[in-house]
């Protein structure tokens, strides 16, 4: 899935009136989001604005990807 497809998928999930959060708030919610996601929870809804921010902010998305990889590695052990 490339970035454009991801954006479209997230746009469908989140709807147009999703408020975007700032990098600080995004960073605070990162842990929670990564925890919720593998549990099959609707992480996007639980952590409001987070997904929308990730789509528009490469820095936070990179942070999220590395944290997700880290958590995934932990669980695999
Ligand atoms: Zn950010």
Buried b (16+ CB within 10 A) or exposed e, 6-17: eeeeeeeebeee
Span 42-76, pLDDT tens digits: 765 667 788 888 888 999 999 999 998 988 776 65
Report how far residue 61's alpha carbon sits from residue 75's, in angstroms, rounded to the nearest whole number. Answer: 21
Span 20-30, pLDDT tens digits: 788 998 888 88
- Ligand 1 center–CA 71 separation, angstroms: 20
Task: State residue 8's pLDDT score.
Answer: 76
- Ligand 1 center–CA 52 separation, angstroms: 10
């Amino acid at each position: 899935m490339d970035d454009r497809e991801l954006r479209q998928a997230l746009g469908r999930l989140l709807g147009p009136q999703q408020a975007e959060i700032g990098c600080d708030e995004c960073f605070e919610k990162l842990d929670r989001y990564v925890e919720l996601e593998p549990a099959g929870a609707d992480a996007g809804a639980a952590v409001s604005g987070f997904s929308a921010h990730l789509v528009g902010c490469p820095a936070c998305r990179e942070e999220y990807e590395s944290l997700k990889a880290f958590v995934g590695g932990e669980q695999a052990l």
